[in-house]
Amino acid sequence: MRGPGAQKGMSLVELLVALTVFAFVSAAAVSVLNIGASGRQQVEDVTDDLGALERARSVIRTDLMQVVDRPYREANGGELIVPMLGGVDADGTIPAGDSEKVLAAFVRNGWTNPNGAYPRSSLQHVTYILRGSDLIRRTRPFLDAAERTPRTDQILFSNVQEVGIAFELGVDWQGDWSPQQGKRIPDALRLTMVHPVYGRLQQDFLVGGME
């Protein structure tokens, strides 16, 4: 017999119940932690994507606002090319890699050269290219290209499933651009991208106006 001060221990059944409850609580806690970590990662991914999209828009907006009417030559040394080409006209004229699609090519002003550090002008040739799922901005150090002129590629936005481009002339939008009706530069450019997460993204940019 137990004395009055004796303590009663847990039975095997009670111990099993306690362990089962503890296991459920632990599993729930781990699940909550995983959900929290996953949620934070998703927020970080969205923040990164939106930041990249805003930076791309800023670069494109600055480029297009400073488009100028200045013809140039490609490395083949052929005829002068008009200051802006887009769509099929650009893709068939501007040199690019086999897996690349030229969306637009143009000349812009305002390329900074602090204290004249580099032997070049403020004019810059810019090409927008779709390579795989990346929207690329391609530039070169000189306006007129030579055979071995180096080029610099900047990824503006990644993981795009589709990219479309259109050019405004008056009240009409068209998918290709070359000089027409006496106008060498369009009024605006429309860029449309399809993203697997954010769907269809569309932005209109004014062209020229800051010469």
Amino acid at 73: R
- Residue 59's pLDDT is what? 95
The CATH number that applies at residue 134 is 3.10.610.10
Q: Whole domain around residue 91: which residue ranges?
A: 61-206
- Residue 101's pLDDT is what? 94
Q: Where are the alpha helices (DSSP H) in the chain?
A: 12-65, 88-91
CB 60 within 8 A of CB 190: no
Q: Is residue 35 part of a domain?
A: no
Q: Is residue 52 part of a domain?
A: no
Residues 6 or more apart in contact with residue 79 via CB below 8 angstroms: 73
Q: Is residue 55 part of a domain?
A: no
Indicate yes or no: pTM above 0.85.
no
Per-residue pLDDT of the chain (211 residues; tens, 9 = 90+): 455 555 555 565 565 555 565 566 666 666 656 666 566 666 676 677 788 888 999 999 999 999 999 888 887 767 788 889 999 888 888 888 889 999 999 999 977 666 665 556 788 899 999 999 999 999 988 888 877 788 999 999 999 999 999 999 888 899 999 877 678 899 999 999 998 888 899 999 999 975 5
Backbone phi, psi, residue 182, to 5°: 75, 5
- Which of 111-141 are b and which e, b meaning 16 or more Cβ less than 10 Å from the residue's Cβ? beeeeeeeeeeebbbbbbbbeeebbbbbbbe
Q: Is residue 4 part of a domain?
A: no
- Residue 211's pLDDT is what? 52
Quickly count: other Cβ atoms within 10 Å of residue 174's Cβ. 13
d(CA 155, CA 129): 10
Residues, the chain, total?
Answer: 211
Residues 6 or more apart in contact with residue 110 via CB below 8 angstroms: 62, 66, 122, 210
The structural domain count of the chain equals: 1
- Residue 32's pLDDT is what? 58
Q: Is residue 98 part of a domain?
A: yes
Q: Is residue 21 part of a domain?
A: no
Q: Is residue 15 part of a domain?
A: no
CB 106 within 8 A of CB 69: no
Q: Is residue 179 part of a domain?
A: yes
